[in-house]
Amino acid sequence: AFGGLTWDDVEKVEFPGYGRAFEGIIADQTDTGFTVSVAPPPQQLAASPRGIVWPELDPADKEGWARLQKVAPYFQPHTVTSAAGDYGKDKPWVGASYPYPILVANASTDDALAKSLIRVFIEDYDKYKDAAPGNAGYRLDNQNMQWVIPFHDAVVDYYKEIGHWTDEMQAHQDMLVERQRILKETWDSYMANNPPSDEDAFGKGWMAARAKALEAAGMNPVFR
């Protein structure tokens, strides 16, 4: 999508698992795979005769990013300084990433618990930031405040208290909450109307009902 290609432009080669897919690249059975930058399979590929190349996803290519996020809205531009192959702090890879780990809670989670947890992560950052290289992701200015899932209400209250919340963020939050409501209502209706017992038919039926409901509300079935 980022490069303007569709499935008509490539041949899909399927493998029975993640590790096997990278063995397929090494064996010259396919040309690409999907992975994180420092996992064992890309390290093995980098050490093989084929080597490894990470396609650059230029943050300045707004049209490319719009196409990518239309099908995978959880991705965001990221500069990677640790990756298999000839990459590092002096030669970073400019590509894509998404928040990880993600702290997830139900809406019913106790407000005090949710608020206290986010407060510790933000206000005690200097106490734990050097414990692991990835901890920089917890720094306040590294947070994606308009991502693909809504914040717990108590977390929103905390961000408001510290002045890290805007009208634009609230509008995005409201849209996500409404999207969740539509999906839940649509799911309940789908399940109440004798959905197909066949797994493939069930999945196709749900995806069609889901898309119809979101499009009726002016929302992209993938995200917005």
pLDDT at position 151 over 80? yes
Kindly report, residue by residue over 178-222, the tens digit of the pLDDT.
Answer: 999 999 999 999 999 999 999 999 999 999 999 999 999 999 887
Residue 3 has pLDDT above 90, yes or no: yes
d(C-alpha 215, C-alpha 213), whole Å = 6
Sign of CA dihedral 101, 107, 108, 109: positive
Q: Which residue has the tokens 């096997």?
A: 20
Rounded Cα distance between 78 and 8, Å, is: 28
CB 82 within 8 A of CB 42: no
pLDDT digit string, tens, across residues 7-20: 999 999 999 999 99
What is the DSSP annotation of 46-93?
A: HHSTT--------TT-HHHHHHHHHH-TT-EEEEESS-TTT-BTTB-E
pLDDT tier for residue 42 given thresholds of 50, 70 and 90: very high
Domains and CATH numbers, the chain: 1-98 (3.40.190.10)
Residue 125 CB burial class (10 angstroms; 0-12, 13-18, ≥19): middle
pLDDT of residue 112: 97
The one-letter amino acid at 204: K
Helix axis angle, 199-216 to 167-192, nearest 10°: 140
pLDDT per residue as tens digits for the range 90-142: 999 999 988 888 899 998 999 999 999 999 999 999 999 999 877 888 999 99
Note whether 73 and 222 are within 8 A (CB): yes
Judge residue 76's burial from the number of C-beta atoms within 10 Å of its C-beta, 0-12 exposed, 13-18 middle, 19 or more buried: middle
Q: Over the chain, what is the mean pLDDT?
A: 93
Task: Check residue 223 and give its pLDDT.
Answer: 64
pLDDT of 224 reads 52
Q: Are 30 and 21 in contact (CB under 8 A)?
A: yes
Residues 6+ apart with CB under 8 A from 158: 115, 118, 119, 122
Is the whole model's pTM more than 0.85, yes or no?
no
Q: Please report the pLDDT score of residue 129 as a whole number.
A: 94
95 neighbors 78 (Cβ within 8 angstroms) = yes
**Rg, the chain, Cα only:** 21
